[in-house]
Structure 1
Amino acid sequence: MAVEAIGSADASTNTARTEFQRVQLKLAEDLAAKAAEKVAAKDKAILTRSETDSLQQRQASGNTGADVGRIGSALDLVI
């Protein structure tokens, strides 16, 4: 990881301290955004897998009437 010099070399100055805090906050925001993206991706994968499993179970049991009913209802809303 590269280290970048920011502000004054004297860490006791307010400017250097403020700039360091700004960089820390930016890094924390970036990490939080990346973590949120990972959580959303996992949630989407779980939801997709769950929906796929449910569809396969309905197809295997021959109970596709619910699917047809939902499609009909959706078409009624469009018409």
Structure 2
Amino acid sequence: MKKNIFGPEPINTKKQYEKGKIATALLSTLIAVLIMFMIVALDSADKEITELKKEVTEQSIRAHSALNDRDSWADKLKACEASK
């Protein structure tokens, strides 16, 4: 038997090989689940952002409408005061 000058020989048994396969499979599954979770989280965030954009647009339209109404009433008031 030759002596290894770099240290002890690595122990490569079938049991260690099987443990390595299991660990690799578990890690792959964990990574896949995390990726799916991120996709779902981004999708739900995108839906919320879209809803918020719609709400802001509606509020902006209401604000412009209110400003137009105010300007209209101001013009009517000026016309009424001028006619007196």
TM-score bucket of the superposed structures, by smaller chain: 0.5 to 0.7
Percent same amino acid among aligned pairs?
Answer: 6
Unpaired segments ≥5 residues, structure 1: 1-11, 64-79
Cα distance in 1, alignment partners of residues 36 and 58 from structure 2: 33
The residue type equivalent to 1:30 in the other structure is A
Cα distance in 2, alignment partners of residues 32 and 38 from structure 1: 10
Cα distance in 2, alignment partners of residues 61 and 54 from structure 1: 10
Q: Which residue of 2 aligns with 1:70?
A: none
- Which has the greater radius of gyration? 2
Asked if 1:16 corresponds to 2:18, the answer is yes
- Relative to the length of structure 1, the TM-score reads 0.62
Q: Which residue of 2 aligns with 1:36?
A: 38
- Pairwise CA distance, 1:62: 1.5
- Pairwise CA distance, 1:16: 0.3
Q: Which residue of 1 aligns with 2:4?
A: none
Runs of 4+ in 1 over 2 A off after TM superposition: none
- Relative to the length of structure 2, the TM-score reads 0.58
Asked if 1:60 corresponds to 2:62, the answer is yes
Asked if 1:47 corresponds to 2:72, the answer is no
Cα distance in 1, alignment partners of residues 15 and 41 from structure 2: 39
Equivalent pairs, count = 52
